[in-house]
Amino acid sequence: MSFYGKIDLHMHTTVSDGTDTPEEILLNVKKKGIKIFSVTDHDAVKGSSMVKGMLKDRDPLFIPGAEFSSRDELGKYHILAYGYDPEAAPIKALCDKCHELRITKFKGRLSFVEKEYGFIFSDEDKAALLAMDNPGKPHLGNLMVKYGYVKSKEDAIKNYIDNAWLKSEFINPQEVISAVLGSGGIPVLAHPIYGSGDQLIVGDEMDERLRHLMAMGLKGVESFYSGFTVKLIIQMLEFAEKYGLYVTAGSDYHGKNKLVTLGDTGYDPGIDPPEGMKRFFKDIFGI
């Protein structure tokens, strides 16, 4: 494969915090003319498995995906998992643990806005959120909008939900990377330049972070990303070349929950793909 067409390897469905169902996201991928795609729901392989089961002949090429949040002494990381076996014990155990932590954190945020701001929600609405696969800040924000407590989901998150200080357990990146590798997958650092909050990680700090994660088994970087300028893309491609890392491209599409267009990755399908991307697709598809 020397020419791929339009690709997008980072998108979310209703299994995590997207607004497109798995059925809708497959339909939208085809409408956008995307040739290779991956569904990467947070802390879950369910959405990816659902999409895989819907595929028919002549549909776009698909790569099973997921995205896992992690943290250690150097900061926060989002690790993308590609090409894993969804039935493998390591990744199933990781999803279970992440789901449990996510529910605990969500309950803490819900309790915080109730007690701190006096927001009242029905038991039915709270139960519906807690029954979701992976409820998060956007879901709580949308509920606050529904009740008229705030004007927008963004207002809810920035000015209310993010004020909650939660002492909670975090998954270590080593645990994520080991589980992905142990399930036959490829771990890739998502939107590597973006750290916690408004933090931007570049230069020597990025170099240190990559070497830190590579020692754990990291195999690639999302060099093309919807929020990256050309300068940032070039920097990540240089790091990928320097360390022999795979290169991927993703929009981070969440449907109506983010102002990001499906397929908007910053990758130009008319160019000769970087070597790291060629090796990634060769190893994923075996050609």
Mean per-residue pLDDT of the chain: 94
Q: Return the CATH fold of 95-163.
A: DNA polymerase; domain 1 (1.10.150)
Q: What is the mean pLDDT of residues 83-87?
A: 97
As a whole-number percent, the residues of the chain with pLDDT over 70 amount to: 97
Tens digit of pLDDT for each residue in 178-189? Answer: 999 999 999 999
Tens digit of pLDDT for each residue in 96-114? Answer: 999 999 899 899 999 999 9
Tens digit of pLDDT for each residue in 7-19? Answer: 999 999 999 999 9
Tens digit of pLDDT for each residue in 56-67? Answer: 999 999 999 999
Whether the pLDDT of residue 274 is over 90: the answer is: yes
pLDDT of residue 89: 98
| Domain assignments of the chain as residue spans, ordered by start | 6-87+184-285, 95-163
pLDDT of residue 56: 95
pLDDT of residue 286: 84
pLDDT of residue 157: 93
Following DSSP, what letter does each residue of the chain receive, concatenated? -----EEE--B--TTTT-SS-HHHHHHHHHHTTEEEE----BT-SHHHHHHHHH--TTSPEE--EEEEEEEETTEEEEEEEES--TT-HHHHHHHHHHHHHHHHHHHHHHHHHHHHH-----HHHHHHHHTSSS--HHHHHHHHHHTTS-S-HHHHHHHTGGG---------HHHHHHHHHHTT-EEEESSTTB-STT-B--HHHHHHHHHHHHTTT--EEEEEETT--HHHHHHHHHHHHHHT-EEEEE--B-GGGSS--TT-SS--TTSPPPHHHHHHHHHHH--
pLDDT band at 258 (very low <50, low <70, confident <90, very high): confident
pLDDT band at 164 (very low <50, low <70, confident <90, very high): confident
pLDDT of residue 136: 87
Whether the pLDDT of residue 176 is over 70: the answer is: yes
pLDDT band at 279 (very low <50, low <70, confident <90, very high): very high
CATH of domain 6-87+184-285: 3.20.20.140
Whether the pLDDT of residue 278 is over 70: the answer is: yes
Tens digit of pLDDT for each residue in 187-206? Answer: 999 999 997 767 899 999 99
Q: What is the pTM of this model?
A: 0.91
